[in-house]
Amino acid sequence: MIDVGSVAAPGAPLARRNPVAKLAAALVFSFTLIATLDPVAPALALAVELAVLPLFGIRYRVLARRAWPLLASAGGILVTLVLFAADRSGPVLLDVGPLVVTSGVLLTALGLVLRLLAVALPGIIVFATTDPTDLADALVQNAKAPARFAIGALAAFRLVPLLEQEWQMISMARRARGVDAGRNPLSKLRLFASTAFALLVGAIRRGTRLAVAMDARGFDAGTPRTVARRQDFTRADALLIAGAAALAGAALTVSVLLGTFRPLTG
Amino acid sequence: MNHTDSNRWRTIDIVVASVIAVAFGVIFWAWGLVWSATEGAFTFFPPAQTLLYGVWLMPAVLGGLIIRKPGAALYCETVAAVVSALLGSQWAGTVIPQGIVQGLGAELAFAAFRYRSFRLPTALLAGALTGLSAALFDFFVWNGGYDLTSYRIPYALLTIVSATIIAGAGSWLLANALARTGALDRFPAARDRTLV
Amino acid sequence: MSAVVVRGFGWRHAGRRAWALRGVDLRVERGERVLLLGASGAGKSTLLAALAGLLPEDSGAQEGTVEIDGLDPRKAREQVGIVFQDPESQLVMARSGDDVAFGLENRGVPAGEIWPRVDEALHRVGFPYHRDRPTAALSGGEQQRLALAGALALRPTLLLLDEPTANLDPAGATLIRRAVADAVDADTTLILVEHRVAEALPLVDRVIVLEPGGGVRADGPPAAVFAAHGDALAAEGVWVPGRTVPPRHATAPAGEPLITAERLGLPPRLAETDLSVRAGEALAVLGPNGAGKSTLALLLGGLLRPGTGTATATPTLAGRDARTPPHRWRAPALARRIGSVFQDPEHQFVTGTVFDELALGPRRTGRPETTVRTTVDALLERLRLAKLAGANPYTLSGGEARRLSVATALATAPRLLICDEPTFGQDRRTWRELVDLFAELRDAGHGVVAVTHDPDFVAALADRTVTLEHR
Ligand SMILES: Nc1ncnc2c1ncn2[C@@H]1O[C@H](COP(=O)(O)OP(=O)(O)OP(=O)(O)O)[C@@H](O)[C@H]1O
Ligand SMILES: Nc1ncnc2c1ncn2[C@@H]1O[C@H](COP(=O)(O)OP(=O)(O)OP(=O)(O)O)[C@@H](O)[C@H]1O
Ligand SMILES: [Mg+2]
Ligand SMILES: [Mg+2]
């Protein structure tokens, strides 16, 4: 099941911030951290992220559900690094055939895994607490995004839950007409592909009709649009971005002071 | 006639581009799970996993081929990235800048032909360039800690190959198949139909 | 000054040889309420789209002119509100109130006025929920009401409604009609397309009948038009009030059961239901919107896995397969025995042309190609689709698409036929043709199940009815 919309507890102080501010804060935070390959800065950042989670009104269980594929990726990184790490310094911990694991390799792996988590979590938190309509409104009102494009994308986004039902209808229609795959995996794959294709065709047709309906209500009339739902960018929103930058900067600074900092371009 | 008369986006251009982006946003979200799940299977030679990469780059080329307006490739890839983030993709916010970079690659190819050619070679070039931009992004941002010759370079090259085949040729085939269904009748991509 | 002036207007959809309509001359004065009639495919929807300025130049060829208050319709959109037949694809936003506000924002209505106008419009159509209600959680009838509110909020001087009550239960249809009656004031021009004339007449003071192929067949006050042309119009497919259709009830008693449902249900969509369908009988399934009729049809059709209870086919229907439930049968076996017609015809189309669509079923169930051809040609002829054999199913008019979807199920001549709203949007002539087709099948020993809101259809065909209650 695909969930759309916000999962934040109502009234969580940071979840209520302007969506553009939240997005900017997440990007600032993540991209500051990308600059380093060491484990210390991301570890500090992760601690910060987990600490502010209650302020966004997300329960740790919800976060875990959204983030579990990341853990799988983290495992992948570990394996890959054992085989392909650039830095093979330090004492050898394990040596079996082609597998040579040194403490340098492990340190790099730890750094990369923590970095992956620390960089991805802010985005997960922000998107989990943001309603698509609010995001589109804020992009138009506070980030000067072109209204026609933001609203058009929003209208298309409304089709997401419908796509799931549509998939079911297409499959039933085929079955009713005598089309099925039986047990043959190849024809199963073919049926899957043709159902997916039919879904895309249906979505485009629906989009075409939706565009006509939008024009019928003056979408493309050239009159300057007004806004029914105001999104304000307040001082608190600016503070959120500044706070994100400061905390990420602090994590890097600590890492530099401890001498663990490893710049990305090094 | 290969291009529409004006570069202004009609409502239908915006909505259908968005629909394509949204559909691929959902696919990305699912593909992210496949990617994580197959990580183990590719341990024998992890860069080979990038062969799956092309799927992530399809909306850029497909959007450009169908909409045929400046910005279409960039818009589709970016919106698809935002949508997958809204749906709860594990990569979330980081895919947005990545999407913009990838979209720019394909956009460059269409711009090089001044938005007048949408044939197979153009599609392949768009696929290759979006692959190149994706490869550059990953080369610097994600793959810093890996060995240069045994990992980073093959990874980048395979990304480009995958993008050219899947995103380039694949999108071209898909756009043609879509045009044959009549769903694109209001787009220049489907102007040669027979009367009934 | 006239609200609408149409001079020699014609439109040919891109990809078509034939004109959808041609040579139409009309004047409609401000404040008139017009019922637009015509056989299915006569071009009613196309004309409404033209009046609303929604026929883009790149989608066809135009003849003649259309003016709204002296302006090109593409420039006069401010004054026009339109509600299409399919409400689902005209809702834009995720929340109901936002959707009504969408048009107001586009028109540049000052922010302070928007919400009062939204609330007023929602109130006028009797929308039962708060404006935060997600549009995805609305039933078809509620969506229709919301779409109407979206059009009314713009305070159009010309309101265009295309079959606004198709697919609604009688109570819902009455609500919509009342909302329309309340909403149009002396300054609003109304043009309404509706096949069911009797229900629409209280709303209108003038009737215009389009001639299939071109021109206007009749025009004037309803009483005068029907008095002068009643017989001819009825023969051409118009539902002239007061002219009943002879019923076609079963001549022989029903035969053996074909399928039996015991406690069949799918919570929360359908509560547990018991029923059985016999060979040689026509069973009508009635009930309000959202009662679960379509769900029941899909369960009986072997397309959904039941949540509770069972659907059991008898050996008469399925031979040795009767031991397994229909939803586990292989698709070709299913298509041979049970034909399903979906509520939304477009959900059913699988191929690219009308001909292939009809041929698909017979081919999949292993008929020889010559039989396929004769079956398909006969159906095309009978349901007046022959000229459209090469057309894409998705470009058909509402009524044509419905007929095609019914025909696809008839093509395999299954022993059990399950149809969801088979008659909506049909003109009188094709309606009778459909009743006759079903009656012939029934009299030949097939079982027919029809989910329907159409009381005339029940009166004409049904031997038995089952009514589902609202859950
Ligand atoms: N998008 C389209 N592309 C091609 N042909 C079309 C399209 N829409 C309608 N037509 C054709 O134009 C003709 C008129 O269609 P229209 O929808 O206006 O009929 P209608 O009078 O509204 O019929 P109905 O009562 O069945 O809804 C039909 O023959 C139909 O097949
Ligand atoms: N695919 C679905 N997933 C979840 N709920 C559904 C689905 N389809 C229908 N429903 C819900 O199940 C209930 C019964 O739906 P169904 O379509 O069977 O009603 P119906 O009696 O056919 O109504 P109508 O007369 O409007 O066609 C409704 O509340 C509907 O919103
Ligand atoms: Mg119509
Ligand atoms: Mg139904």
How many CB pairs lie under 8 A apart between chains B and C? 31
Residues of B in contact with A212 (CB under 8 A): 12
- What does each C-alpha distance from C290 to C102, C298, C311, C469 come to in angstroms? 27, 14, 21, 9
Chain B residues whose beta carbon lies within 8 Å of the beta carbon of residue A120: 90-94
Please check the confidence at residue A91 and state whether its pLDDT lies above 90.
no
Q: b/e string for A232-264 if b means 16 or more Cβ within 10 A?
A: eeeeebeebbebbeebbeebbeebeeeebbbee
- Ligand 2 pocket mutation, candidates C295, C467, C468, criterion most atoms within 8 A of CB: C295
Task: Determine whether the interchain pair A70/B36 forms a contact, defined as Cβ–Cβ distance below 8 Å.
Answer: yes
The confidence score (pLDDT) of residue B110 equals 94
Any domain includes B196: no
C268 upstream amide cis, omega within 30 of 0:
yes
Do residue A27 and residue A119 come from a single domain? Answer: yes
What total number of domains does chain B contain?
1
Say yes or no: CB of residue C45 within 6 Å of ligand 1. Answer: yes
Predicted confidence band at C320 (pLDDT cuts at 50, 70, 90)? Answer: confident
Same domain, A132 and A254: yes
Q: Do both A157 and A57 map to the same domain? A: no
How many domains does chain A divide into? Answer: 2
Q: How many CB atoms lie within 10 A of CB C8?
A: 12
| Interchain CB contact of C292 with A (< 8 Å) | no
φ/ψ of B50, rounded to 5, equals: -65, -15
User: Nearest Cβ partner of C105 from A162, A209, A226?
Assistant: A226
Q: Of ligand 2's atoms, which has the minimum distance to the CA of residue C292?
A: 18
Residue B49 domain-assigned (yes or no): yes
* B110 within some domain: yes
Residues A96, A55 share a domain: yes
Interface confidence (ipTM) of the complex? 0.90
Residue at B184 is within a domain = yes
Answer yes or no: is A222 within a domain.
no
Contacts of A185 (CB under 8 A, 6+ apart): none
Contact at 8 Å (CB) between C233 and C211?
no
Determine contact: B180 vs chain C, CB below 8 A: yes
**What pLDDT, in 10s, does the model give residues C383-428?**
889 999 999 898 898 889 999 999 999 898 899 999 999 998 888 8
The β-bridge partners of C9 are C24
Of C15, C389, C391, the CB nearest to B185: C15
* Beta carbons of C154 and C107 less than 8 angstroms apart: yes
Distance CA B45, CA A80 (A): 8
Q: Tell me, yes or no, whether A208 and A153 share the same domain.
A: yes
Residues A127 and A154 in one domain: no
Task: Look at residue B40 and tell me whether its pLDDT is greater than 70.
Answer: no
**pLDDT beyond 50 at C247:** yes
Residues A72 and A47 in one domain: yes
Does A177 fall in a domain?
yes
Position A151 in a domain: yes
Considering the domain architecture, whether residues A127 and A196 belong to the same structural domain is answered as: no
Same domain for A116 and A27: yes
Look at C395 and B186 and tell me if their CB atoms are within 8 Å.
no
CB C243 within 8 A of CB C230: yes
Q: What is the CATH number of the domain that holds B70?
A: 1.10.1760
Tokens of B79: 């919106």
Strands (E), C254-396: 257-266, 270-278, 282-286, 308-313, 338-341
Task: Band the pLDDT of B186: cuts 50, 70, 90.
Answer: confident
| Backbone phi and psi for residue A185, each to the nearest 5 degrees, phi listed first | -65, -30
- Other Cβ atoms within 10 Å of A266 Cβ, number: 8
Which domain covers residue A196, as residue numbers? 144-216
Ligand 1 closest atom vs CA C42: 21
Q: Closest-CA residue in chain B for A134? A: B86
The alpha-carbon gap from A52 to the nearest alpha carbon of chain C, in Å, equals: 29
Based on the fold, state whether residues A79 and A159 are members of the same structural domain. no
**DSSP label at B169?**
I
According to DSSP, residue B196 is labeled -
Residue A1 binned pLDDT confidence (cut-offs 50, 70, 90):
very low
Nearest CA to ligand 2 atom 16: C292
**What is the per-residue DSSP string for C349-366?**
--SSSHHHHHHHHHHHTT
Structural domain of B156: 3-191
Task: Tell me if B129 is assigned to some domain.
Answer: yes
Top mutation candidate among C400, C402, C405, C423 for ligand 1, by most atoms within 8 Å of CB = C400
C-alpha C81: how far from chain center: 21
Residues A151 and A133 in one domain: no
Q: Which subunits have 3 or more CB–CB pairs within 8 Å of chain C? A: A, B
The pLDDT assigned to A220 comes to 82
CA distance A138 to B90: 23
The reply to whether residue C103 touches residue A215, judged by beta carbons under 8 angstroms, is: no
Q: Which of A118-127, B120-129, C320-329, C369-378 is predicted least confidently?
A: A118-127
Residues A24 and A41 in one domain: yes
Name residue, tokens 């477009």.
C346
